[in-house]
Amino acid sequence: MFQIFILHDDIREQDWLQQTIARMRPETRIKSFDSGSDALKAMIPRPPELILLNASLEDMTAFQFLEKIPPTTRGRVILLGEEDADAVVAFDFRVLDYLKKPYTQTRLKKAITLQEEIEVEDEIPTSAGHQAIIDTILPIKVSGNIFFVEKEQIRYIIASGYYIEVFAEEKRFLVREPMHEVLERLSHPQFVRVHRSSIVNTDYLDHINLIGKGETEAVMKDGKVIRISKTYKEDLLDKLKVS
Protein backbone atom coordinates (compact mmCIF):
# COMPACT_ATOMS: atom_id res chain seq x y z
CA MET A 1 0.00 0.00 0.00
CA PHE A 2 1.20 3.50 -0.88
CA GLN A 3 2.24 5.22 2.35
CA ILE A 4 2.74 8.93 3.10
CA PHE A 5 4.38 10.45 6.17
CA ILE A 6 3.42 14.00 7.16
CA LEU A 7 6.04 15.73 9.32
CA HIS A 8 4.76 19.05 10.68
CA ASP A 9 4.97 20.92 13.99
CA ASP A 10 1.60 22.66 13.51
CA ILE A 11 -1.23 20.28 14.42
CA ARG A 12 -3.85 22.24 12.45
CA GLU A 13 -1.82 22.17 9.25
CA GLN A 14 -0.96 18.55 9.90
CA ASP A 15 -4.68 17.70 10.18
CA TRP A 16 -5.52 19.72 7.05
CA LEU A 17 -2.86 17.90 5.04
CA GLN A 18 -4.01 14.51 6.28
CA GLN A 19 -7.68 15.18 5.48
CA THR A 20 -6.89 16.72 2.07
CA ILE A 21 -4.66 13.82 1.02
CA ALA A 22 -7.21 11.29 2.28
CA ARG A 23 -9.80 12.84 -0.04
CA MET A 24 -7.36 12.86 -2.96
CA ARG A 25 -6.07 9.32 -2.40
CA PRO A 26 -8.48 7.35 -0.18
CA GLU A 27 -6.43 4.17 -0.67
CA THR A 28 -3.29 5.77 0.79
CA ARG A 29 -2.02 5.00 4.27
CA ILE A 30 -1.12 8.27 6.05
CA LYS A 31 0.90 8.76 9.24
CA SER A 32 1.56 12.12 10.90
CA PHE A 33 4.45 13.18 13.13
CA ASP A 34 5.44 16.43 14.82
CA SER A 35 8.79 14.94 15.85
CA GLY A 36 11.51 14.18 13.34
CA SER A 37 12.98 11.56 15.68
CA ASP A 38 9.69 9.65 15.83
CA ALA A 39 9.41 9.72 12.05
CA LEU A 40 12.96 8.40 11.65
CA LYS A 41 12.17 5.47 13.94
CA ALA A 42 8.98 4.74 11.97
CA MET A 43 11.01 4.61 8.75
CA ILE A 44 12.78 1.47 9.96
CA PRO A 45 12.95 -0.96 8.24
CA ARG A 46 11.28 0.64 5.19
CA PRO A 47 10.68 4.32 4.41
CA PRO A 48 7.30 5.49 3.07
CA GLU A 49 6.75 6.15 -0.63
CA LEU A 50 6.36 9.88 0.07
CA ILE A 51 7.28 12.31 2.87
CA LEU A 52 5.72 15.76 3.33
CA LEU A 53 8.31 17.60 5.41
CA ASN A 54 7.68 20.99 6.99
CA ALA A 55 10.67 23.34 7.28
CA SER A 56 10.44 23.17 11.07
CA LEU A 57 9.60 20.26 13.35
CA GLU A 58 9.19 19.89 17.10
CA ASP A 59 12.75 18.67 17.68
CA MET A 60 14.74 19.58 14.55
CA THR A 61 14.75 21.52 11.30
CA ALA A 62 14.08 20.07 7.86
CA PHE A 63 17.80 20.51 7.14
CA GLN A 64 18.72 18.31 10.12
CA PHE A 65 16.13 15.70 9.18
CA LEU A 66 17.35 15.52 5.57
CA GLU A 67 20.92 15.04 6.77
CA LYS A 68 19.81 11.92 8.67
CA ILE A 69 18.22 10.12 5.71
CA PRO A 70 19.94 8.62 2.64
CA PRO A 71 19.87 10.38 -0.77
CA THR A 72 17.46 7.81 -2.20
CA THR A 73 14.92 8.67 0.49
CA ARG A 74 15.44 12.42 0.02
CA GLY A 75 14.09 11.92 -3.48
CA ARG A 76 10.74 11.02 -1.88
CA VAL A 77 10.48 14.25 0.13
CA ILE A 78 8.23 17.23 -0.62
CA LEU A 79 9.51 20.18 1.41
CA LEU A 80 6.96 22.69 2.75
CA GLY A 81 8.32 26.15 3.49
CA GLU A 82 7.80 29.88 3.22
CA GLU A 83 11.29 31.40 3.21
CA ASP A 84 13.76 31.69 0.32
CA ALA A 85 16.23 29.73 2.43
CA ASP A 86 13.82 26.78 2.44
CA ALA A 87 13.95 26.63 -1.35
CA VAL A 88 17.75 26.55 -1.18
CA VAL A 89 17.59 23.58 1.21
CA ALA A 90 15.22 21.81 -1.20
CA PHE A 91 17.59 22.38 -4.11
CA ASP A 92 20.74 21.39 -2.20
CA PHE A 93 19.23 18.11 -0.96
CA ARG A 94 17.55 17.32 -4.30
CA VAL A 95 14.19 16.56 -2.77
CA LEU A 96 11.24 15.61 -4.95
CA ASP A 97 9.52 19.02 -4.86
CA TYR A 98 9.21 22.25 -2.91
CA LEU A 99 5.89 23.89 -1.99
CA LYS A 100 5.99 27.51 -0.92
CA LYS A 101 3.25 28.54 1.48
CA PRO A 102 0.46 29.32 0.98
CA TYR A 103 -0.14 26.59 -1.60
CA THR A 104 -3.39 25.36 -3.14
CA GLN A 105 -4.90 21.89 -3.12
CA THR A 106 -4.20 21.73 -6.86
CA ARG A 107 -0.51 22.43 -6.31
CA LEU A 108 -0.40 19.89 -3.48
CA LYS A 109 -1.98 17.24 -5.69
CA LYS A 110 0.51 17.95 -8.47
CA ALA A 111 3.40 17.59 -6.05
CA ILE A 112 2.09 14.28 -4.70
CA THR A 113 1.70 12.80 -8.19
CA LEU A 114 5.10 14.16 -9.28
CA GLN A 115 6.85 11.05 -7.99
CA GLU A 116 5.09 8.94 -10.57
CA GLU A 117 5.70 11.45 -13.38
CA ILE A 118 9.45 11.80 -13.05
CA GLU A 119 10.67 8.26 -12.61
CA VAL A 120 14.30 8.12 -13.61
CA GLU A 121 15.54 5.27 -15.74
CA ASP A 122 17.97 3.01 -13.86
CA GLU A 123 20.33 2.77 -16.77
CA ILE A 124 20.74 3.70 -20.42
CA PRO A 125 21.93 0.97 -22.80
CA THR A 126 25.61 1.40 -23.63
CA SER A 127 26.17 -1.43 -26.08
CA ALA A 128 27.95 -0.64 -29.35
CA GLY A 129 24.63 -0.75 -31.17
CA HIS A 130 23.29 2.10 -29.01
CA GLN A 131 26.48 4.16 -28.68
CA ALA A 132 25.88 6.26 -31.80
CA ILE A 133 22.42 7.18 -30.51
CA ILE A 134 23.79 8.10 -27.07
CA ASP A 135 26.44 10.30 -28.71
CA THR A 136 23.90 12.35 -30.66
CA ILE A 137 20.65 12.18 -28.67
CA LEU A 138 19.78 13.49 -25.21
CA PRO A 139 16.77 11.62 -23.73
CA ILE A 140 14.65 14.03 -21.66
CA LYS A 141 11.81 12.71 -19.50
CA VAL A 142 8.95 15.13 -18.90
CA SER A 143 5.57 14.23 -17.35
CA GLY A 144 5.72 10.57 -18.27
CA ASN A 145 7.01 11.21 -21.82
CA ILE A 146 10.55 10.69 -23.09
CA PHE A 147 11.69 13.19 -25.72
CA PHE A 148 14.75 12.35 -27.80
CA VAL A 149 16.43 15.69 -28.45
CA GLU A 150 19.32 15.99 -30.87
CA LYS A 151 22.22 17.41 -28.92
CA GLU A 152 23.30 19.65 -31.77
CA GLN A 153 19.92 21.42 -31.58
CA ILE A 154 20.31 22.40 -27.92
CA ARG A 155 21.27 26.08 -27.70
CA TYR A 156 21.64 26.58 -23.95
CA ILE A 157 20.42 25.33 -20.59
CA ILE A 158 19.33 27.66 -17.79
CA ALA A 159 18.50 26.90 -14.15
CA SER A 160 14.92 27.91 -13.38
CA GLY A 161 14.23 27.70 -9.67
CA TYR A 162 14.10 24.04 -8.72
CA TYR A 163 14.32 22.87 -12.35
CA ILE A 164 16.44 23.46 -15.45
CA GLU A 165 15.17 24.71 -18.81
CA VAL A 166 16.62 23.09 -21.92
CA PHE A 167 16.30 25.40 -24.93
CA ALA A 168 16.44 23.58 -28.24
CA GLU A 169 15.90 25.05 -31.71
CA GLU A 170 12.13 24.64 -31.69
CA LYS A 171 11.20 23.54 -28.16
CA ARG A 172 11.82 24.26 -24.51
CA PHE A 173 11.83 21.51 -21.88
CA LEU A 174 11.44 21.96 -18.11
CA VAL A 175 13.41 19.18 -16.43
CA ARG A 176 14.19 18.20 -12.86
CA GLU A 177 17.88 17.27 -13.09
CA PRO A 178 21.04 18.77 -11.55
CA MET A 179 23.08 20.93 -13.92
CA HIS A 180 26.26 18.86 -13.55
CA GLU A 181 24.44 15.64 -14.44
CA VAL A 182 22.92 16.97 -17.64
CA LEU A 183 26.35 18.33 -18.62
CA GLU A 184 27.82 14.85 -18.15
CA ARG A 185 25.07 13.38 -20.31
CA LEU A 186 25.70 15.92 -23.05
CA SER A 187 29.38 14.86 -23.16
CA HIS A 188 30.28 17.07 -26.11
CA PRO A 189 33.06 19.69 -26.09
CA GLN A 190 30.80 22.42 -27.50
CA PHE A 191 28.69 22.37 -24.32
CA VAL A 192 30.40 24.57 -21.76
CA ARG A 193 29.28 25.63 -18.32
CA VAL A 194 29.56 29.41 -18.05
CA HIS A 195 27.82 29.92 -14.72
CA ARG A 196 26.56 27.71 -11.89
CA SER A 197 23.11 28.18 -13.42
CA SER A 198 23.82 27.98 -17.16
CA ILE A 199 25.39 25.89 -19.94
CA VAL A 200 25.87 27.13 -23.50
CA ASN A 201 26.40 25.39 -26.82
CA THR A 202 29.31 27.32 -28.34
CA ASP A 203 27.99 26.52 -31.83
CA TYR A 204 25.17 28.97 -31.04
CA LEU A 205 27.43 31.61 -29.48
CA ASP A 206 27.42 34.89 -31.42
CA HIS A 207 29.91 36.91 -29.41
CA ILE A 208 31.19 37.69 -25.92
CA ASN A 209 30.64 41.07 -24.30
CA LEU A 210 33.52 42.38 -22.19
CA ILE A 211 31.68 44.84 -19.94
CA GLY A 212 34.50 45.90 -17.64
CA LYS A 213 35.83 44.97 -14.21
CA GLY A 214 36.29 41.40 -15.37
CA GLU A 215 32.57 40.96 -16.08
CA THR A 216 31.62 39.14 -19.29
CA GLU A 217 28.44 38.03 -21.03
CA ALA A 218 27.74 35.41 -23.67
CA VAL A 219 25.44 36.70 -26.42
CA MET A 220 23.75 33.84 -28.24
CA LYS A 221 22.70 33.89 -31.91
CA ASP A 222 19.04 34.19 -30.90
CA GLY A 223 19.85 37.32 -28.85
CA LYS A 224 19.81 35.66 -25.43
CA VAL A 225 22.36 37.20 -23.07
CA ILE A 226 23.89 34.88 -20.47
CA ARG A 227 26.23 36.02 -17.71
CA ILE A 228 29.64 34.34 -17.58
CA SER A 229 30.92 33.96 -14.03
CA LYS A 230 34.61 34.44 -13.24
CA THR A 231 34.76 30.82 -12.08
CA TYR A 232 33.97 29.46 -15.55
CA LYS A 233 35.32 32.28 -17.74
CA GLU A 234 38.82 30.84 -18.18
CA ASP A 235 37.52 27.40 -19.14
CA LEU A 236 35.22 28.92 -21.78
CA LEU A 237 38.00 31.04 -23.28
CA ASP A 238 40.35 28.02 -23.31
CA LYS A 239 37.81 25.93 -25.23
CA LEU A 240 37.27 28.79 -27.67
CA LYS A 241 41.09 29.13 -27.99
CA VAL A 242 40.89 32.79 -27.01
CA SER A 243 43.78 34.19 -25.01
Q: Are residues 58 and 132 in the same domain?
A: no
- The separation between CA 94 and the C-alpha centre of its own chain, rounded to angstroms, equals 6
**Region 196-220 average pLDDT:** 91
pLDDT at 132 over 60: no
For the domain that residue 197 is a member of, what is the CATH number?
2.40.50.1020
Q: Are strands 97-100 and 50-54 parallel, antiparallel or unpaired?
A: unpaired
Does 74 reside within a domain?
yes
Tell me what the mean pLDDT of segment 29-51 comes to. Answer: 93
Separation of alpha carbons 243 and 126, rounded Å: 38
Residue 124 in this model has a pLDDT that exceeds 60: no
Note the pLDDT tens digit of each residue in 83-108: 877 877 777 788 888 888 888 898 89
pLDDT at residue 169, as a whole number = 85
163 part of a folded domain: yes
Taking the C-alpha atoms of residue 136 and residue 64, their distance in angstroms, rounded to an integer, is 42
**Residues 158-202: pLDDT tens digits?**
987 778 899 998 788 888 888 888 888 888 889 999 998 999 999
Provide the greatest CA pair distance for the chain.
Answer: 64
Q: Are 89 and 101 in contact (CB under 8 A)?
A: no
Q: Which residue did the predictor score with more confidence, 99 or 141?
A: 99
Q: Looking at the structure, do residues 63 and 163 belong to the same domain, yes or no? A: no
Whether 226 has a pLDDT exceeding 80, the answer reads: yes
pLDDT score, position 7: 97
- What residue type is 35 in one-letter code? S
Q: Which domain-ending residue is among 66, 85, 117?
A: 117
The continuous run of DSSP H or E covering 79 comes out as: strand 77-81
Q: Which pLDDT band holds residue 130 (cuts at 50, 70, 90)?
A: very low
What range does the domain containing 222 cover? Answer: 128-239
Boundary residue ending a domain (117, 151, 175): 117
Task: Give the pLDDT score at 117.
Answer: 55
Q: Is the pLDDT of residue 126 over 50?
A: no
Domain shared by 112 and 132, yes or no: no
**In a shared domain, residues 8 and 113:** yes
pTM of this structure: 0.52
Comparing 128 with 19, which gets the higher pLDDT? 19
Q: How many domains does the chain have?
A: 2
Q: Which amino acid, residue 188? A: H
18 CB-side CA count, 13 A: 16
- Residue 231 CB coordination number (10 Å): 11
